[in-house]
Copies of this chain bind each other. A is one copy, B any other.
Amino acid sequence: MGKINKITLKEAAGLINDGDMLSFSGFTIWRRPMAMIYEMVRQGKKNLHLFEVNGGTHTEVLAGAGCVKLWESCWVGHELYGKLGEAVARGQVEGTIVVEDYSHAHCVARLLAGAYGLPFFPTALSMGTDILNPKFDMFGKAGLRDGSNPKIPLKKYDVIPDPMYGKGDILLMPAANPDWAIVYAQQVGDEGTVRVLAQTYVDAEVIKAAKKVIVIAEEIVPDSYLRDEPALNIATGYAIDYVIELPYGAHPTGSQFFYDVDADFIRAFYQASKSGDGYKKWADEWIFGVATHEEYLEKLGANRLMKLKANSVMGYSTTVKRGTR
């Protein structure tokens, strides 16, 4: 019989040190641990090293607040609700964020290696692109590949000839093993079993690859319920270090079968994120203007949350207006 280690949002964010390497659950604007993102901004985290299979609104919130020093990923934006990742782009152009680009599948390879305890993972995807241009090894140019940081590999990637079947050159992508996985999951059992609904993205891999794991649970349920259908679970209790139970903990990103993406909220953030001042005003209102997650929800208001609430059969909101018609 395992048990879970329940802590508060403030305690959880307090565990994250400046300079730590972080990775997150979810996909672009779905199932991101937003409550923790906001709290890390409130606590003024600095020099974070983000490894993300893909970025999203959460990345932009952290980058806009100046929390991010290193960003390894392949994409950042807000899907239909914000074309670009303005804060990361600003950081890259102004040189305040060191950006290391990989392809999406390269990032998956790196995380899979980390999840399986392998130092690297082979892939033949995205060969012949500038992602592999040695001139664009930005961590290398910044002198970060000298082995002094155990979280940064000695090489951005390697190439070896296939010794088994002579298929030609293939890439080796270095493992990614973050200090922390910060995960949002719809259901966590009272013994720590974790279930996410609909697409699993790379959540199971993020949990395995990280040294420590914090999970924001939309709800905590009996483990025995999750164990009735074990094939649907993505992690066991012993893989989870801390659990926070927070309804709407992923807002404004979506949580399948609980609530939809808050498109209007993300559109407004995107507009604000286009300038440092704009971001600051937005953050003053939505991050520093509320002391707790409960105040944040109160500020959003009941009706807004009801509009976003997922239809329990379809798994997404059937009442929110999405398009122009």
CB distance A154 to B160 under 8 Å? Answer: no
Do residues B200 and A163 form an inter-chain contact, with CB atoms below 8 A?
no
A20 and B167 alpha carbons, distance in the complex (Å): 22
Contact B162 A120 (CB under 8 A): yes
Asked if B167 and A163 make an inter-chain contact with CB atoms under 8 angstroms apart, the answer reads: no
**Are A175 and B170 also in contact (CB < 8 A) when A118-B122, A120-B122 are?**
no
Supplied contacts A154-B164, A231-B231, 14 more A-B pairs, CB within 8 Å: A118-B122, A118-B170, A119-B163, A119-B167, A119-B170, A120-B162, A120-B163, A150-B165, A153-B164, A154-B163, A160-B160, A164-B172, A198-B231, A231-B232
Q: Can you list 8 A-B pairs with a CB-CB distance of less than 8 A?
A: A117-B124, A118-B170, A119-B167, A120-B122, A120-B163, A154-B163, A164-B174, A198-B231
Copies of this polypeptide in the complex? 2
Residues of A within 8 A of B (CB): 117-124, 147, 150, 153-155, 158, 160, 162-167, 170, 172, 174-175, 198, 200, 229, 231-232
Point out the residues of chain B lying under 8 angstroms from A118, CB to CB.
122-124, 170
Q: Write out the residue numbers on chain B whose beta carbons fall within 8 Å of the beta carbon of A155.
A: 163-164
Q: CB-nearest residue of chain B relative to A157? A: B164
Q: Which 10 pairs of residues, A with B, have the shortest CB-CB distance?
A: A164-B174, A119-B162, A153-B164, A119-B164, A158-B163, A119-B167, A119-B165, A120-B164, A118-B122, A231-B232
Write out the residue numbers on chain B whose beta carbons fall within 8 Å of the beta carbon of A160: 160
Q: How far is the CA of A123 from the CA of B122 in the complex (A)?
A: 12
Report the minimum CB–CB distance from A24 to chain B (whole Å).
21
Residues on B with C-beta less than 8 A from A154 are 163-166
Q: Separation in Å of the A221 CB from the closest CB of chain B?
A: 17
| Complex alpha-carbon distance, A118 and B167, angstroms | 10
Distance in angstroms between the alpha carbons of A174 and B229 in the assembled complex:
34
Tell me which residues across on chain B come within 8 A of A122, comparing CB atoms. Answer: 118-122
Q: Please give, as numbers and ranges, the residues of chain B lying within 8 Å of A121 by CB-CB distance.
A: 122
How far is the CB of A88 from the nearest CB of chain B, in Å? 25
Which chain B residue lies CB-closest to A154?
B164
| A246, chain B: closest CB distance, angstroms | 24
Measured between alpha carbons, how far is A232 from B228 in the docked complex, in Å? 13
Q: How far is the CB of A153 from chain B (nearest CB, A)?
A: 4
Complex Cα distance, B166 from A175, in Å, reads 12
In the complex formed, the residue of B with least CB distance to A162 is B119
Residues of B within 8 A of A167 (CB): 119
Contact B231 A200 (CB under 8 A): yes
Shortest CB distance A107–B (Å): 15
Chain B residues near A231: list those with CB within 8 A: 198, 200, 231-232
Contact of A164 among B158, B164, B232 (CB under 8 A): B158
What residues of B have a CB within 8 angstroms of the CB of A170 in the complex? Answer: 118-119
* A201: min CB distance to chain B, Å: 12
Inter-chain CA distance A19–B170, complex, in Å, is: 30
A42 to B33, CA, bound (A): 59
Residues of B within 8 A of A153 (CB): 164-165
Residue of B nearest to A200 (CB): B231
Residue of B nearest to A160 (CB): B160
